Amino acid sequence: MRTTLLVSLLIMSALTNSALAQTTAKEIRLAATSFLEAFARTQATEGYQITFETGNIDSRINLAPCTAPLAVEFTGDPWRSEHPSVEVACSGERPWRMFVTTTVSINGPALVAARPFGRGERITQDMIKTRSVVVNASRRGIITDAGLIEGMVVRRPVNSDSVLTPDLLEAPDAVARGDHVIITARSGSFSVRSRGKALANASVGEQVLVENLTSSRTVRANVTAPGHVEVPM
């Protein structure tokens, strides 16, 4: 009888310790929430307001105990999605990981159109303004520095108050078809200059066909600055 009772107590103790040792859904939610709170505090110092919610975690979850602090990180870019998942992971003796769905809203300043834009217009300061938007609602990104886009060209029509995204703008042509340009033929520190005529439009960094006005040869050159192209010698 005493032996039976002792065995029963050992079994009950083992079951109890096993249950207590499990990593619970509550612990996982706490780790994910603490991570998102830290993210919100960090971004608040940069002028962004973060609100968030964590998704449901099955209360019946049964994960091994973790002998190390739980590690949490985003699995996607929270600046490009309002629903980034976070990974909660254990790197202890019995490692595991699981994913928790979240809803994250990042509110902050962004540049928007002060009036409608037409295709081909060049951006000036009076064409843009700043207002608060849900930054991560746009997967195409936002623009916050007006100095970076002044002088750029609108690629397609934009409605008034629309959030400006990088894909809406492009660098202006540095050379246009028919323009006279300076051709620099370069080899190391040695270079020779000649005059040429651009046979197409191109921006800085792009290649363009150029007619050398001295030799009448057509060469493919890299646009280095407005009115200037370069070819290897």
Residue 160 located in a structural domain: yes
Is the per-residue pLDDT at 9 higher than 60?
Answer: no
Q: Whole-angstrom Cα distance, residue 231 to residue 233?
A: 6
Give tens-digit pLDDT for 142-164. Answer: 999 998 898 899 999 999 999 99
Residue 67: the pLDDT is: 85
Task: Report DSSP state, residue 158.
Answer: B
* b/e map 19-57, b = 16+ CB within 10 Å: eeeebebebbbebbbebbeebbeebeeeebebebebeeb
- Classify residue 3: in a domain, yes or no: no
The model's pTM = 0.65
pLDDT tens for each residue of 29-78: 999 999 999 999 999 999 999 999 999 998 888 889 998 899 999 998 99
Per-residue model confidence (pLDDT) at position 199: 94
Considering the domain architecture, whether residues 156 and 143 belong to the same structural domain is answered as yes
> Which domain-ending residue is among 59, 81, 105?
105
Residue at 123 is within a domain: yes
Domain containing 216 equals 180-232
pLDDT of 190 reads 86
Q: What is the three-class DSSP state of 24? A: coil
Please check the confidence at residue 138 and state whether its pLDDT lies above 90.
no
The pLDDT value given to residue 1: 42
Strands 71-74 and 86-90: antiparallel
Tell which of 170, 189, 205 closes a domain.
170
Residue where a domain terminates, one of 170, 195, 214: 170
User: Do 186 and 150 share a structural domain?
Assistant: no
Q: Is residue 1 part of a domain?
A: no
Give me the number of domains the chain comprises.
Answer: 3
Return the amino acid letter for 201. Answer: N
